[in-house]
Structure 1
Amino acid sequence: MIRRTHAGRAVAVTGALVLALTACSGGTDEAGGGETTDSGSGSGEPLHIGTLLPVTGSLAQLGPPEIAGVDLAIAEINEAGGLFGADVEVTHTDSSDANNAPVSTASAQELISAGASVVIGAASSSVTLNVVDDITGAGVVQISPANTATNLSGYSDFYFRTAPPDSVQGDVLGNLIISDGASNVGILVFNDSYGTSLRDVVAGVVTDAGGTVVYGAEGQEFDPAEQNFSTIVGDAIASSPDAIAILAFTDQTPLVVRELVAQGWDMSKTYFVDGNLQNFGTEGETGFPAGTLEGAQGTLPGAFPSEEFQARMLEVDPELSEYSYGPESYDATILAALAALKGGASDGETIQANLAAVSGADGGEECTGFQECADLIEAGEDVAYQAVSGVGPFNEANDPSSAFIGIYKFGGDNTYTFSRSEEGEVPAS
């Protein structure tokens, strides 16, 4: 069904709309706010999940796979009988981006007022920093499937993420650039917490390996609203790099690429990241002439989704053309439901108190999917959910303890294909 909010935005709801919504707890940021049970039995209120994901803005390409991942998980939970005798309910809202902060602020307040116990999102680290205090301060658990800024590690007892911090992607990207033979690296980075955080990690890896960051140091970031990259690209190329990494979102990246091409840069020596890795193609506003990006590479957190999982996501959204952070969104939703089941209630404090445990932080029997894990919990067993995205259990900072980073390469049609994955450990702090 479709429910419309007071602001007139369409909000999709999966599952039965129940009359009794979970009351939003006024909990604090203290750890262990809920009580853990080992039986999984309980008579909690129906679980209400909200999403704060990009329908509009500079990360809108991530919205469809993320929303599909959430909806796929909820469909599977409800097919298994739901929780506490009722279907899980979901309310979708738009996060937009950091340049449209009032959108995420209004969406967060909408979800809090609606009684959501868990918010899946945001995709952008800057958007999360805009709303995380409101969400977690209301005793609502926030689980981002895509935040990577390092300053979000351990931010709140009620904030978790199923994507690794930039310490992992930055390490893989920096080593990829060095292993490809580059020693003088230029970084075109926008002045956003995501970009600067990732830049700092990449720069550290490059310099530790004996290379030099010739452009893109602190003070050389560009404004996220920048539209003319002639001087910026010219200065970067003038620094004589033998590789350039673009650390930005998809609204700036096509402009940057066109300027690099216009100034004669060899695009096969260009590197993209999760914020701008997309199938640009050869048509439309984001397309380029065939061969423009051939040989360029990019990195993306998460294990490459299997064909079977892609097919399941396509059943939810047949229009999907990319799967970025869909598995992480699915994992976040399954973990939230398992935490509620283990604790015997669907309020935020109970879910917060049990998330690490069901992720396998304390050991437990390995299980996949909601049904298998729920059966074990109902039998009184401790579980270690095996994430589709390949991330390890939550660590003390509520980050995944390990994660895979996929490496992708562009072909002549300006679309990317999977090359390989690298696994990295995530520091606890």
Structure 2
Amino acid sequence: MIRRHAAVQGIALAAALGLGLAGCAGSSEGADGDGSAEALKIGTILPLTGTLAFLGPPEVAGVGLAVDDINEAGGVLGNDVIVESGDSGDTTDLSVARSTATDLIGKGVSAVIGAASSGVSLAVVDQFEEAGVMEVSPANTATDLSGYGEYFARTAPPDTVQGAALGSLIIDDGHTSVGFLVQNEAYGNGLRDNTQKSVEAGGVTAVYGATGAGQEFPPGETNFGSQVTNLLAQKPDAIAVIAFEETVAIVTELAAQGWDFDGTTYFVDGNLSNYGDKFDPGTLKGVQGTLPGAQAEDDFRDRLNTWSEENENTTLEDFSYAAESYDATILVALAAVRGGATDGKTISENIRAVSGSEGGTEVRSFADGVKALEAGDEIVYKGFSGTGPLDENNDPSSAFIGIYLYGADNTYTYVKSVEGKS
């Protein structure tokens, strides 16, 4: 069963400073040394509720662990980083995210980590930019966000990369016709579009849910009887499900109508979750899924889980986008160090450089990055997600896509990774 989690109980919140931090971020002069020298305050706008709530715990842990590592290394410009937590909700009720954005801006954050949903980010990204707050998403993949503005970046690759990987997987498995079950918003439509381009280039026909067919479903849909009936009537030999928590209802309906999932069904990052006894044993056996990001190392997973248990009283069931959340937080902090200030404008102006766009010394931790920057070197931060430097669109210039396989217990295991470029 997908586990839901209530509001964050606090992400390694640093001791409150006596200094007033209520001024709106981004009001300083930027990277010329005249910007704010106050403590770096980072907000989170991550899914604690809604159809992507299963992604919340690993992303929260990624941010929290990164902040602990930063503060253990001496903080940013002599001060501990402070975190302000917030819920993004999902696209079924965008008032949650907009309220969180207003709250975080009012608390004087200079940067935010999130959102997980591309549709949510599209609803708040202008609000953050107007306030001079740098938004760095660990999970947004919609192509609509590529080059959106100087105050938006991401550590997850755009859907061009995952779509190509998913399309290749379907082709390599020998399928000739595919049906898409797609939620009607920026993420679903964009990933479907790119996957469809990939499969059609390989000679596979999209027989249902194709671009322009008008067969998408609204986010939050719970009844898929007619959709599944209409899809199966087209006799596809493969189905790609591009959805969030709606996947539970979709799988239940597909099973009820006799669909054999083994070797024929494909999930994506939005629904790659360990479902366990949510379905009968063996239901998802042979289902494959794609997930942007390199496979997390065992030691890193252990550290994330320890952090989550100690700070959130939660054992992590998934690690999706935890590495990207960690790396996003480290990049924000290193950008402030390089620019000599903690305001959003400075972070915006320096985040590409610390990701490696200027070349330089390769570093694998915040502490090593600070050491190199203080020595006058440019740096290339190589984090846990395995992405390349940010390009001119503030997208990772390259990234790994993990391929995963479900077993009879309805949980997934890592198979391999493929590397692609934006």
- TM-score range for the pair, normalised by the shorter chain length: over 0.9
Query: Aligned residue for 2:205?
Result: 212
Q: Is 1:246 the equivalent of 2:237?
A: no
The question of whether the paired residues in 2 share the 8 Å contact of 1:42 and 1:84 is answered with no
Q: Is 1:334 the equivalent of 2:325?
A: no
Q: CA deviation at 1:220?
A: 1.0
Hey, what's the Cα distance between the residues in 1 that align with 2:205 and 2:38? Answer: 56
Query: Aligned residue for 1:110?
Result: 103
Query: Aligned residue for 2:297?
Result: 306
Query: Aligned residue for 1:222?
Result: 217
Query: Aligned residue for 2:273?
Result: 278
Hey, what's the Cα distance between the residues in 2 that align with 1:308 and 1:142? Answer: 28
Q: CA deviation at 1:23?
A: 3.3
Query: Aligned residue for 1:266?
Result: 260
Query: Aligned residue for 1:288?
Result: 279
In the TM superposition, 1:334-413 aligns within 5 A as 334-413=330-409
Hey, what's the Cα distance between the residues in 1 that align with 2:26 and 2:334? Answer: 22
The answer to which of 414-423 and 263-272 deviates more is: 263-272
Cα distance per residue 1:290-318 (max 9 Å; x no partner): 10000010000000100011011112113
Q: Is 1:24 the equivalent of 2:24?
A: yes
- Which of residues 164, 168, 171 is equivalent to 1:171? 164
Q: CA deviation at 1:24?
A: 2.3
Hey, what's the Cα distance between the residues in 2 that align with 1:25 and 1:68? Answer: 25
Q: CA deviation at 1:42?
A: 9.3
Q: CA deviation at 1:34?
A: 2.8
Hey, what's the Cα distance between the residues in 1 that align with 2:205 and 2:267? Answer: 19
Q: 1:208 to 1:367 in 2, by over 3 A?
A: same
The count of corresponding residues between Structure 1 and Structure 2 is: 407
Runs of 4 or more, structure 1, over 4 Å off, are: 8-13
- Which of residues 238, 251, 271 is equivalent to 1:257? 251
Hey, what's the Cα distance between the residues in 2 that align with 1:36 and 1:168? Answer: 36
Q: CA deviation at 1:392?
A: 0.5
Query: Aligned residue for 1:15?
Result: 14
Hey, what's the Cα distance between the residues in 2 that align with 1:146 and 1:381? Answer: 30
Cα distance per residue 1:157-190 (max 9 Å; x no partner): 1100000010000000011001001010111111
TM-score (norm 2): 0.94
Hey, what's the Cα distance between the residues in 2 that align with 1:83 and 1:200? Answer: 41
Q: Secondary structure at the match of 1:24?
A: coil
Q: CA deviation at 1:56?
A: 0.3
Hey, what's the Cα distance between the residues in 2 that align with 1:52 and 1:316? Answer: 19
The question of whether the paired residues in 2 share the 8 Å contact of 1:13 and 1:92 is answered with no
Query: Aligned residue for 1:316?
Result: 307
Query: Aligned residue for 1:89?
Result: 82
Cα distance per residue 1:97-130 (max 9 Å; x no partner): 0112111111001110100000000000010011
Gaps of 5+ in 1: 1-7
Query: Aligned residue for 2:177?
Result: 184
TM-score (norm 1): 0.92
The answer to which of 358-367 and 84-93 deviates more is: 84-93
Code of the aligned partner of 1:143: V
The question of whether the paired residues in 1 share the 8 Å contact of 2:160 and 2:191 is answered with yes
Cα distance per residue 1:183-202 (max 9 Å; x no partner): 10111111111100000001
Query: Aligned residue for 1:46?
Result: 39
Gaps of 5+ in 2: 1-6, 310-314
Q: 1:152 to 1:343 in 2, by over 3 A?
A: same
In the TM superposition, 1:98-137 aligns within 5 A as 98-137=91-130
Hey, what's the Cα distance between the residues in 2 that align with 1:44 and 1:226? Answer: 47
Q: Is 1:148 the equivalent of 2:141?
A: yes
